[in-house]
Structure 1
Amino acid sequence: MLMPVYAKEMLHGGPTQFGLLMGASGVGAIFGSLILAMFSNVRTLGDWAALAAAGFGGSLVLLSFSHSFALSLLVMLLIGFTMVTGLDASNTLVQRIVPDELRGRVMAIWTMMLSGLAPFGSLVVGVLAQQFTARRTFAAGGMACIMGAMGFGFSLPILQREARKLILKRESADARALAVTKT
């Protein structure tokens, strides 16, 4: 995580500024969860995930250029919002698609990938920041997120079509099982 370096070297702040930046991210995360819960449905979750990933990348790029603490606070709100919105949307989509009997195993792998690989990502980011500066690392990471979001966005119609097939197949099987139990 480069935020302590960012607060110190880019904004010439200390622990207080770091805490405020992280707090702003937390506030954005709360809003992201609430907005996603209020305005999304299973048909739009993929769109939310793609837009959030692109927004997250754009926010990282914007953060890499910011020298203003006030602007950085606003960008951190966006980072928290887009990060949680993307994670929640994709997590919900995976749980919706995966059959009940596999959900525990799939979510265990999901959690391992998300939490277990984060330290390795931090190692890579730390090495890159040491070699190329934190500012350039934020910008490169943001651009990588944007490119990944574009790739995901372009493949989204195919993924949505396949997801609908899986969901309809499972709902049909559930309806048949329910009909059998009622008779």
Structure 2
Amino acid sequence: MAKHYPALTDRLIEFISEQKIFFVGTATADSRVNISPKGLDSLRILDNNRLLWLNLTGSGNESSAHVQNHPRMTIMFCAFEGPPMILRLFGTARVIHKDDEEWQKLFGYFKPLPGARQIFDLSINLVLTSCGMAVPNYAYTGDRDMLSDWAEKKGDDGLKLYWEEKNKFSIDDIPTNILTK
């Protein structure tokens, strides 16, 4: 049965720390809903109602465009091993770009990852667990290095050119402001 919490509990924080993948959902009032799988060492829990997610360069930049227009964000975790559970974190997010004043301080929570482009700061206002009994079991065999290798080969200048070409607007033509400063 689903349970609602106003904040993360120690047990839920432990569950999150054991997960290798999470899903981010965002949308504006009239855009397409975007759900994106995320991995690597890109999530930090600052306290029971706040977390940071280091967003890496990808083929799109929907979350950034959405959050700057409508700051809702949901992050979902699923147990693919062990006891079943689905955990959703609902909240209000802010986008921090590399040129923003807060970037250096918040980036310090992460080990540097090639292709880092934004940090999302999520204020959690609802935590919801549900059973997850229909989620299949999967075995984690390791992270993929392909994105990091690609970003390292591009270098800073190559990434900025890529952002200019692929990451300036969402698929609904909403600006991401990745190159405004």
| Band of TM-score, shorter chain | under 0.3
Tell me: higher relative CO, structure 1 or 2? Use CA pairs within 8 A at least 6 residues apart. 1
Which has the larger Rg? 1
> What TM-score do the two structures reach when normalised by structure 1?
0.26
TM-score by length of 2: 0.27
